[in-house]
Each structure stands twice: as C-alpha cells, then as structure tokens.
Structure 1
Amino acid sequence: MLHINPDKTLSHIAPEIYGQFSEHLGRCIYDGIYVGEDSDIPNVKGMRKDVVEALRALHLPVLRWPGGCFADEYHWRDGIGPKENRRRMVNTNWGGIVEDNRFGTHEFLELCDQLDCEPYIAVNLGSGTVQEAAEWIEYMTADGDSTITNLRKENGRTKPWHLKYVGIGNENWGCGGSMSPDFYANEYKRYQCFCKNYGNNKLYKVACGPSGEDYNWTKELMSRIDHEHANGISLHYYTVPGDWEHKGSATDFSDEEYYITISKALHIEDIIEKHLAIMDEYDPNHDIDLLVDEWGTWYDVEPGTNPGFLYQQNTMRDAIVTAASLNIFNKHSDRIAMANIAQVVNVLQAMILTEDTKILKTPTYDVFQMYKEHQDATLVESYAADAANRINEPVISYNDISIPALSESVSVTEQNGQKLLTITLSNTSLTDSLSVELELPIKYSFCGKASVAMLHAEARAYNTFDDPDRVRAFETEEDWNGNLQVVSLPACSVCRICCYVS
C-alpha cells in the first residue's frame, strides 16, 4: 500500500531538477542540435527544428553548456564573431577532432531562447583566467558603452541576455585541472569575486563539488566557502554497471547486470544524503544548495562508433534508472535545486538520437515527458506501508542483490481551487507485476477522470530509426472515486497518474 497525504506538504520541486546537459562532445552539438543555417535539415537559425520541438515538449527548464571537460579548455572569444574567423582547436578530451567553434555564446543563448529555458554556463577555471571569466559575464549580461559590451553589439546582440546560473569550473578534481580541494576552493573564491552582477542580472554561482563518494572533497570545500561565495555546489554521479574500462553493453546485458545497474542507480540516494550531512555541518541554515549537474548511465559505446563520442543506445533499463533517479531527486527537493542528465542528444543517456534527417526519442525521453508535471509542484508525503501503516517496502532479491521493487514520489498543485496529484511509480522487477494500493486519508477522495500514462517493455527493448516507436508510453483515462485505488504495474514499467482529489 502506498500512503499519500496531500495535507503534508514537504518541499517545492524546482523545475530545474528536470534539467539537461549539452557538451561539445561527439554529435551532441553538431548534427544533434546545430546543423547551420545552410543545412538541408529544417532549422531555425541553425538549430534543428525537430530536436527543438521535441525538447520544448518536455518543458525543458535549464540547459548546461559548454561542458563537461570541454568547459575547462573552452575560451569564449574563440566562439564569437564571423564564423569563418573563429579559431579551430583540437578537442583533446573527446575524440581529438577539430572544433571550429561555429556554435558559441550567441548560438547557445539563441538555442535557450528557442527552448524557452534558462542557460547554465560553465566557466573555464582550469585553463582560463580570471579576466577571461569576468569579461565573459560582462559580454553576456552588461549594458552600456564598455569595450566588451560594444563587442557584443558588433556581433549582433544589442541587449544583454539574462543569465542566472554560472558554474565556475568543472570536475576540477580531474579533467578540470587535477586540483586538490583546498587549491580549488581558493581559486573558486578568486574567480567568483570577479563574476559580477550587472544591472538587474543576479548570478547564481555554483562551485565544483564532488564526484560520487568523494566526501572529503565536500568537507574541504564547505570548510572554505560560505553562502557569500556560492549559491550551490555540484555533484557528479554516473551509473556504470561494470568498471571504467569495461562498463558493459547498453543493450546486451544479463539479468544480473540489469539488477546491478538499478542497484547502482539507487545508490545515489545514499550518496546525496551523506554529502548533505557534511554540508549541514558547515551550512546549518541550508543557504547552499546541491546540484546534481551530471548524472545518468554510462556504458561502452555502440560498436563501430568513435570511442571518444560516447554514443550509446537507450533501453527500458535506462527508463527505470531515470524514473528511480527523478523520484529520488523529488524526495530530496528541499536541498536539490537542479539536476542535469548527461546528455541531451546523441551522447550517453540521451533524450534524443539523430541520424542525418532522422530523429528518435528514447525511453528516457518518455520518462521525462511523463514526469514533467512534477515541475514547480509541491512534494507531499508518500510511503509504502502495510495494513497497520508501518513502513514496508516490497523488495526484490536476485543472487546477492536486493533492491526496492517500487520507486515512487507524489506532488500536488492547485488548479481551479482543487488539488491535482501527480503520482509517479516504477516497478523494478524484470519478471513480476506489482499491485500497488494508493490510499488517501479518509477525508480525501479521488474524483473524476484519472490520466494514467504507462511505459513498459522488456528491459533490453529500445527504439531504432527503423522502429522508432517500439518502446513508447501510452495514456488512458480511468474513472477514479473513493480514497483507495489499485494500480497494476507490469514488470519493468514506469507509470504516471494525474488525478484531482477533494
């Protein structure tokens, strides 16, 4: 039984929890998002119309760019002005290809305008300079008659852009400079000091936080910064079934590898809670947020593709990972201000794959589509319980692996004076269906039509360009009344229910 209490509101679910990540990596930017204005592929100012339309349907709230590891070798002046004059550089992190900087600051912010989303800029702390960072912020957000603002105007943008989110450095413990936490903290404080607020534009500054279980990084960083320096710190966590040399196939995996993957995905909750406990020691008033600004599955690349392009397929297993992760983020929305899945197109756990003029939406896309009603809603109390109202979560055991069978979260919004519940559930079992009783307090009743979206398939099923709708969510309407309803979840499924209660 899933107990749901609409009266016990817990926290606001920031829309940014459903954010995305884009990097100059493989075919994410070029071919995936940007094809240029002269392309035969339909586009608006160089942005693929089909990709933009698909992402707009997700109500995409925020997009992070230009990386990733690429961010700490990216120099923003290389990506402005006439395209034929832009610097050609070797992308040393991803495949050693030549980056011609056709897609730069103006193009990215144009993309965000088309998507109607907030831009999240990652500033180069690793190989850049303080002056470079300061002038990039001025270029984007300042008005007036300075040399930098006039340069922007010469390049075609008269008014400054609105820019809220600025990450200062990326993975500076690794590809961003192999720094120690104390060295990075001092560099961060220096850089953020010169990233100024111009006019009415107020920056939300993000410090590079830990990778996975590196609790010492969090401790050392938090001991050296406070809310006057940072609004948030980042966390990166990837679900890798194997090890970093042999991550495992995206599509050809055993039942055991499936359960290992789900177990590792669920482990992010323990990681989040331990980092938050450390943050609480130094920030008891919770002035500094946690942003999970890189997360998702990471497998071996698809056979025959460039190893540096990180192109992988996306199965129903990935949909289960997505559902479980988003439910966890919802449940911790009192502290998590943003999350950005990696990456938006053609890289890692992508929403969308493209091939020339073709496009397909992955099972992960469907989960984001189903869960979008949580954006800007209020989390309410929900928990699995037995008849005596004792917490009792169903468990799946496979060999030495034990994981919860049910992943869930519930939110409420007010519409026309009524409470609208969004209930998201997933059944992690490969073989067994799961019957879930949804119980409201006796004072409440489900009323009217319930919209029920269901996504389920065999765990290894995925969409192809020849069969783009093999794994697709379907939606039905059901009459719901009373304070108790039963939902049957097929094996390996994700479900979203929207229903009014009174």
Structure 2
Amino acid sequence: MAKLIINEENKKSRIEPEIYGHFSEHLGRCIYEGIYVGEKSEIPNVNGMRTDVVDALKELKVPVLRWPGGCFADEYHWMDGIGPKEKRKKMINTHWGGVVEDNSFGTHEYMELCRQIGCKTYVNGNLGSGTVREMSEWVEYMTFEGVSPMADLRKENGHEAPWKVDYFGVGNENWGCGGNMTPEYYANEYRRYQTYVRNYHPDRPIKKICCGANVADYYWTKGVLNTAFDHAEQWHGFMDGLSLHYYVHPEGWEIKGSSTDFDADVWYKTLSKALYMETLIERHGAIMDEYDPDKKVGMIVDEWGTWYTCEPGTNPGFLYQQNTVRDALVAGITLNIFNKHSDRVKMAALAQMVNVLQSVLLTEGGQMIKTPTYHVMHMYRHHQGADLLESTLTGAGEIGPDEWKVPKITESVSMDKDGVITVTMNNLSVEASEKVEIQLANRGYHVVEARIVTDSDMHAHNTFEAPDTVTEKDFAAYEETENGLNVTMPANSVIELRLAK
C-alpha cells in the first residue's frame, strides 16, 4: 500500500489560478465553429459566442485565455480584425490548413469572449512579421482612455471604454515559426518591443511575457536571459514571464500516433513523456534561478498537451483529435506537476480550448461534448488560488515497460482560504487498482467531496452519439480512519478528494 503524508501546517507556494489557463488560436475549428458562430447563426449565441461553449467554460472557472496564437500570432496584423466586418481584410491562413481567414473574430470579439467567460486577457503580439509601431498602437487601442488616434479609433468602432490587458506576449515561438531567430537576436528585439508596450494605467499594469524555449532548448533559455538581463538594473519590471512550450507526441514529432488506437506500451510511453514536464521545469527553472533567484519572473507554460495524428478524414492542418482516458491522465499528471512547482510556474495554457489538440470541448454543428480532459480540469479547479501543502508519497513503486516506467501514483495537495484541503491523485496503471493510505498531521478531517474520472477501457472517449461515456462521477471507494483515509484507486483514474474539519 502506498502512503501519502500531508502536512497541512506547512503551506508552500500559492497555486496561481492562471496555471489552469487555456489557449485559443486561429487554427482549424477552434475559434470559428468552436467558439464563434456569428450573431446571425441559428446556434444559440450571445454576440456571436456559442452559449453552450461559454457556459461550459464558465463552469471550469477559466482564469485566463491566450489569443490569437500560436504561430498565427506572428503573421496577425490586428488592424485587419477591427471595424465593420464586411470591410475587414481576408487572408490565407498559411500556417493552418491554407483556409481563408476573414478576420470576423478580432480584438473586439476576443474581449467580448473574455467578458462572457469572466477570465483575464492574454494577448500575443506580432514580433515576427510586425513592427514596433504596430504592437505599440495595438496596446494603445486596447488600453488607452485619453485622446489619441488609437483610442479615438476604438471609440469609432463601438467601444468607448478601454479594456484591461492582463498579459501581453511579445512574440511567439521566435526560435521557429515566429522568425527563426537566435536567442541573442530575439532578446534584443524583446527589449526593444516591450519598451513600447506601455502601461497607460499604473493601477492596471500589463504583465509582459518573453518568448522562452521549445522543450529542452536550454541554450535558448540561457541565451535569452543572458542578453535580456544585461544591465538589468535599468530594466526593472520589463519581464514578468518567460514561456515554455512542450507537447506530448507518443510516437515522435513525425508520426505522433493515433488518439484512440494504442496499446498498453504506448499508454505508458505517453504518460512517461507527460512526466517529462517536471524535468523541463526543473532544468529551465535552474537557469532562470541564475538570473532571477527571487523568482520574480514566472515560468509560463502557455502551450502544453497531447498532439496526435489528426482524425482520419479531417483536414490535417486543423489538428482535430479525439480525447480518451489517456488524455485525462496526461492532464492530471501535468496539473499536479504545475501545482508542485507553483513557486516558479505562474501561468499555463492547455492547447487548445475547442476542437484542436487536447481540447476540453468538441463541437459539431449545434452539438457540443465535454472531453475527459474537461472533467479533470473541472475537478482540479479547486486548486486555483489555494496554497500548495507539503506532501510526501512513498511505497507506490513504478509500473510499465523498462524504457517507459512511470510511478504508479502522482499527486498534489492544496488548502483554500476556507481551510478545505484538495487532494488530487492519478493511478497510472492500465490494469491494476492501487491502495493509498492518506495521513494528515492533525486529526478531525472528513471527506466533503469525492469525485473521479475513469473507465476500465483505456481507449474510452466521448462521441456525439455517446457524450457521457467518460464523465466526472461521485467516488466512494475510501474509508475514513483515525489518522486520515484509506483509498482504493481504480486503474486509469484521476481522483479528487476534498477534506474539511
């Protein structure tokens, strides 16, 4: 039997709500059809935003939404997406599917979406093919409330008051699709561009995100920080976050692998690659510590998730994939890792929100379904804004083939402002249940909520014909003891326990 010891007296770092953020790019059917259907659509909507999708996202308590990309961001020119929709420029989306982008979803629509969801804004600017002036004027358009050409233009386009931009990304993947830059070149460009991302309201500062590495490119992290922090005393507050991108490709970048057709070895291979996120955070974090020992610059994992071969018969540029119990485990593992490293990780964004990669929702016409990943993120919402607690797991052991061995159990524990403890655990075994004894430093805690996402079939997923195959359900396989709990976790399961005195 594994043992999880929780010291609720030792509160560690705060788990920022933004760790549970999302990403929406002009890619495939993420925005168009998935989120935005237009005001004249027969699908129920408010100002063009699908009512069913918005309601589902509100249930998740989505804290922040990144937009418009992704690779699309560094070819996006924001002025193409404002003003009367019939006059907006049409363009070819050269990154994703070669389809026509009509720019009917632009700045105003994004801000309206965030208003409806009730989340913070994270706008990604165009450094790759845009100019300093273009980026500066976008910030002015969105946030300045005085008299200026851009503020006047915003008012002409129907929005009198400025919006609040919480986060602004200065470029995206500039080591690749964002310009194929060297770290030193990008860092100098970052320094220049961010200068003109002005805070027009001292009480509403924009947090600036610098483009960080792709996976294990520690050379990039070192090079960017070394150049960016040169004479850093003159640049206090010029960088609030450094991004990191990592996707799980079970069979590698070229082949990737099927989202629904896999065996037990590939199951463990996938979960092992998900666990690699911890290594990346620790190693990139160590480099960040050299320049930022006080951890004032947050690690921003603003693209993460599984990336499989797209579903047969769909546009390969749309990156549409199914979502199984395997994805539920990837989500549970990754979110536990973020929680445990919340002293450095301050924001993350699952890629992507609807109909693309490891999405939480899938749509088809007027239908919408919630994926297993959705249900995991719904359970984990209680960690948002809570304090990470000291926890130690022993006796769980490992499982899987030699090359892809994984721990049987992963976990994280937090306490919210009301003193309620949230325990989230994952059983990574594809076939065996696992018993876990939970002990707390103090007695008197009782279960007030217990939920689970699981299925005995590792391939199980939701379809439009069977939307509730994998859902969040009540969990009862536990016994309260004098010191805590004895829990029996089914195979392939993600569990949440809420404890209160």
Q: If the length of structure 1 is used for normalisation, what is the TM-score? A: 0.96
Spell out, residue by residue over 1:96-138, the C-alpha distance to the aligned partner (whole angstroms, 9 max, x if none): 1110000000000000000000010000000000000000000
Q: Which residue of 1 aligns with 2:364?
A: 355
**Rounded Cα–Cα distance in structure 1 between residues aligned with 2:121 and 2:448:** 35
Q: 2:32 aligns with which of 30, 33, 45?
A: 30
Q: Which residue of 2 aligns with 1:421?
A: 421
Q: Report if aligned partners of 1:450, 1:480 keep a CA contact under 8 Å in 2.
A: no
Give the drift of 1:197. Answer: 0.5
Q: 1:453 aligns with which of 451, 454, 464?
A: 451
Q: Report if aligned partners of 1:445, 1:481 keep a CA contact under 8 Å in 2.
A: no
Give the drift of 1:414. Answer: 3.2
Q: Report if aligned partners of 2:265, 2:400 keep a CA contact under 8 Å in 1.
A: no
Q: Which residue of 2 aligns with 1:202?
A: 205
Spell out, residue by residue over 1:62-115, the C-alpha distance to the aligned partner (whole angstroms, 9 max, x if none): 000000000000000000000000000110000011100000000000000000
Mean Cα displacement is larger for which, 224-233 or 271-280?
224-233
- Aligned-partner residue type, residue 455 of structure 1: V
Give the drift of 1:228. Answer: 3.4
Q: Report if aligned partners of 2:15, 2:342 keep a CA contact under 8 Å in 1.
A: yes
**Rounded Cα–Cα distance in structure 2 between residues aligned with 1:63 and 1:246:** 29
Root-mean-square deviation (CA, aligned residues, Å) is 1.1
Q: Does 1:475 align with 2:477?
A: no
Give the drift of 1:482. Answer: 2.7
**Rounded Cα–Cα distance in structure 1 between residues aligned with 2:29 and 2:78:** 20
Q: Report if aligned partners of 2:241, 2:298 keep a CA contact under 8 Å in 1.
A: yes
Give the drift of 1:445. Answer: 2.5
Which runs of structure 2 are paired with 1:380-391 in the superposition (5 Å)? 380-385=389-394
**Rounded Cα–Cα distance in structure 2 between residues aligned with 1:481 and 1:75:** 60
Q: Report if aligned partners of 1:344, 1:350 keep a CA contact under 8 Å in 2.
A: yes
- SS of the residue 1:41 aligns to: coil
**Rounded Cα–Cα distance in structure 1 between residues aligned with 2:15 and 2:403:** 35
**Rounded Cα–Cα distance in structure 2 between residues aligned with 1:100 and 1:90:** 9
**Rounded Cα–Cα distance in structure 2 between residues aligned with 1:459 and 1:365:** 17
Q: Which residue of 2 aligns with 1:326?
A: 335
Q: Does 1:250 align with 2:259?
A: yes
**Rounded Cα–Cα distance in structure 2 between residues aligned with 1:26 and 1:223:** 37
**Rounded Cα–Cα distance in structure 1 between residues aligned with 2:204 and 2:341:** 28
**Rounded Cα–Cα distance in structure 1 between residues aligned with 2:90 and 2:198:** 30
Q: Which residue of 2 aligns with 1:221?
A: 224
**Rounded Cα–Cα distance in structure 1 between residues aligned with 2:130 and 2:71:** 13
Q: Report if aligned partners of 1:141, 1:201 keep a CA contact under 8 Å in 2.
A: no
Mean Cα displacement is larger for which, 128-137 or 468-477?
468-477
Q: Which residue of 2 aligns with 1:137?
A: 139
Q: 1:164 aligns with which of 155, 163, 166?
A: 166
Q: Report if aligned partners of 2:371, 2:462 keep a CA contact under 8 Å in 1.
A: yes
Q: 1:308 aligns with which of 307, 312, 317?
A: 317
**Rounded Cα–Cα distance in structure 2 between residues aligned with 1:325 and 1:492:** 15
**Rounded Cα–Cα distance in structure 2 between residues aligned with 1:495 and 1:472:** 12
- SS of the residue 1:400 aligns to: helix
Q: Report if aligned partners of 2:479, 2:485 keep a CA contact under 8 Å in 1.
A: no
Give the drift of 1:479. Answer: 7.8
Mean Cα displacement is larger for which, 87-96 or 476-485?
476-485
Q: Report if aligned partners of 1:446, 1:482 keep a CA contact under 8 Å in 2.
A: no
**Rounded Cα–Cα distance in structure 2 between residues aligned with 1:399 and 1:127:** 46
Q: Percent identity?
A: 54
Q: 2:214 aligns with which of 211, 214, 220?
A: 211
- SS of the residue 1:127 aligns to: coil
- Aligned-partner residue type, residue 275 of structure 2: L
**Rounded Cα–Cα distance in structure 2 between residues aligned with 1:47 and 1:400:** 46
Query: What stretches of structure 1 of length at least 5 have no aligned partner?
Result: 386-391
**Rounded Cα–Cα distance in structure 1 between residues aligned with 2:217 and 2:490:** 37
Q: 1:100 aligns with which of 102, 109, 127?
A: 102
**Rounded Cα–Cα distance in structure 1 between residues aligned with 2:222 and 2:293:** 14
Give the drift of 1:397. Answer: 3.2
Spell out, residue by residue over 1:3-51, the C-alpha distance to the aligned partner (whole angstroms, 9 max, x if none): 0010011110000000000000000000000000000000000000000
Q: Report if aligned partners of 1:185, 1:225 keep a CA contact under 8 Å in 2.
A: yes
Q: Report if aligned partners of 1:411, 1:421 keep a CA contact under 8 Å in 2.
A: yes
Q: Which residue of 1 aligns with 2:495?
A: 495
- Aligned-partner residue type, residue 117 of structure 1: C
**Rounded Cα–Cα distance in structure 2 between residues aligned with 1:484 and 1:61:** 32
Q: Does 1:337 align with 2:336?
A: no
Q: Which residue of 2 aligns with 1:179?
A: 181
**Rounded Cα–Cα distance in structure 2 between residues aligned with 1:196 and 1:156:** 23
Query: What stretches of structure 2 of length at least 5 have no aligned partner?
Result: 230-235
- Aligned-partner residue type, residue 77 of structure 1: M
Q: Does 1:70 align with 2:72?
A: yes
- SS of the residue 2:7 aligns to: strand
Mean Cα displacement is larger for which, 397-406 or 31-40?
397-406
- SS of the residue 1:57 aligns to: helix
**Rounded Cα–Cα distance in structure 1 between residues aligned with 2:14 and 2:238:** 24
**Rounded Cα–Cα distance in structure 2 between residues aligned with 1:102 and 1:42:** 18
Give the drift of 1:481. Answer: 5.5
- Aligned-partner residue type, residue 75 of structure 1: H
Give the drift of 1:210. Answer: 0.1
**Rounded Cα–Cα distance in structure 1 between residues aligned with 2:481 and 2:161:** 53
- SS of the residue 1:383 aligns to: strand
**Rounded Cα–Cα distance in structure 1 between residues aligned with 2:268 and 2:28:** 29
Give the drift of 1:398. Answer: 1.9
Q: 1:148 aligns with which of 150, 154, 163?
A: 150
- SS of the residue 1:63 aligns to: strand
Q: Which residue of 1 aligns with 2:55?
A: 53
- SS of the residue 1:236 aligns to: strand
Q: 1:41 aligns with which of 40, 43, 53?
A: 43
**Rounded Cα–Cα distance in structure 2 between residues aligned with 1:330 and 1:374:** 8
Give the drift of 1:223. Answer: 0.7
Spell out, residue by residue over 1:373-407, the C-alpha distance to the aligned partner (whole angstroms, 9 max, x if none): 0000000011113xxxxxx4421132432110101
Give the drift of 1:450. Answer: 2.7
Give the drift of 1:193. Answer: 0.3
Q: If the length of structure 2 is used for normalisation, what is the TM-score? A: 0.96
**Rounded Cα–Cα distance in structure 2 between residues aligned with 1:305 and 1:192:** 39
Q: Report if aligned partners of 2:71, 2:95 keep a CA contact under 8 Å in 1.
A: yes
The count of corresponding residues between Structure 1 and Structure 2 is 490
Spell out, residue by residue over 1:273-309, the C-alpha distance to the aligned partner (whole angstroms, 9 max, x if none): 0000011111122221100000000000000000000
**Rounded Cα–Cα distance in structure 2 between residues aligned with 1:185 and 1:492:** 43
Q: Which residue of 2 aligns with 1:388?
A: none
**Rounded Cα–Cα distance in structure 1 between residues aligned with 2:341 and 2:70:** 24
- SS of the residue 1:307 aligns to: coil
- SS of the residue 1:51 aligns to: helix
- Aligned-partner residue type, residue 172 of structure 1: N
